Amino acid sequence: MPKVAVVGSYGVGLTMRVPRMPVAGETLSGGEFSSGHGGKGSNQAVQAARLGAQVDFFTAIGADDLGRGGRTLWSDEGITAHPVVFEDVATMAGVILVEESGENRIVIAGGTLDRLTTQHLMDFEPVLAAADIVVVSLEIPVPVAVRALELAAGAGTRTLLNPAPATALPDEVWSAVDVLTPNATEAAILLGIDPRAAETEPADDLARRLHDRTGATILLTRGGDGVLVCHDGEITAVPAVPATAVIDTTGAGDAFTGAAAVAIAEGADPVDAARFAATVGAWVVAHHEVIPALPHRHEIEGRPA
């Protein structure tokens, strides 16, 4: 079993499905409400576990019902969790609006995640060193994410950074990043250019520029246009895997990242890892919610990629 260590967020998603997005000052009726487990780190950990990895997960939760729910989830999924527990702060929560097209808008209250410091990582350092790959995302304080990458890289462990939500990062971090999984907007932000450039600049230029700046292998996700892989200076276009339907795009990026990490830990090259992850992502967008949508290995084996 590949060993995947994930450093990231856990929270509860409060989802409202709406006919369309309301405009400012408008009260819109006709929504359907549900709640469920979320947080990029937890989603990625669950996806990796369902694809057959041995997963360790580092995060922060509150001593509340939401935090206890997270512990139950990780236990049920066979994930070894290492949460920092805060007694006086609530577990992260996110509000998600999903319109009929499947597009979504998300607002997050970080809660306990905002309390994490680099010192909290010290007990997790042996796990980072023992993993085949370490996955980090940015719903936690940037210094914690950066330190996790540095500790893993210093121990000789491969690293994958999912730069979401995207923010400027110190140049020194790139020497500790082996693989990046941004979308076009996130790539533009990492490059320090107007995010609107993602709509006009060719995707292969974004991928190549990000590769040149960071030295990392780039898996640039483009939704229905597939994935661009930039590795050792070469660009490879991986076609999109057709989804049976586009019902809900929430969690598709997390599923892609978790699947890519498992494939790389198993020894796949970046292009094959992108193909595998794209197959997993296509499955997820055809299903409602996040955790129920994340596939097990047997559900995606044999599907075209």
Cα angle for residues 156, 5, 79 (degrees, 5° grid)? 155
Active site residues: 254
Give pTM, 2 decimals.
0.90
Residue 237 domain-assigned? yes
Supply the range of the domain harboring residue 144. Answer: 3-21+32-299
Which DSSP string corresponds to 109-120?
E-GGGGG--GGG
Residue 146 domain-assigned? yes
DSSP state letter for 20: S
Residue 15 domain-assigned? yes
Per-residue confidence in pLDDT tens, the chain, 305 aa? 999 999 999 999 888 999 999 999 999 999 999 888 999 999 999 999 999 999 999 999 999 999 999 999 999 999 999 999 999 999 999 888 989 888 888 888 889 999 999 999 999 999 999 999 999 999 999 999 999 999 999 999 999 999 999 999 999 999 999 999 999 999 999 999 998 878 888 999 999 999 999 999 999 999 889 999 999 989 999 999 988 888 888 889 999 999 999 999 999 999 999 999 999 999 999 898 889 999 999 998 865 54
Q: Assign 37 to helix, strand or coil.
A: strand
Cis, peptide link before residue 202, omega less than 30° from 0? no
Cα separation, 49 vs 304, whole angstroms: 22
Pick from 266, 263, 265, 268: nearest CA to 281: 263
Residue 40 domain-assigned? yes
* Domain count within the chain: 1
CATH code of 77's domain: 3.40.1190.20
Residue 305 domain-assigned? no
Residue 186 domain-assigned? yes
Residue 63 domain-assigned? yes
Residue 27 domain-assigned? no
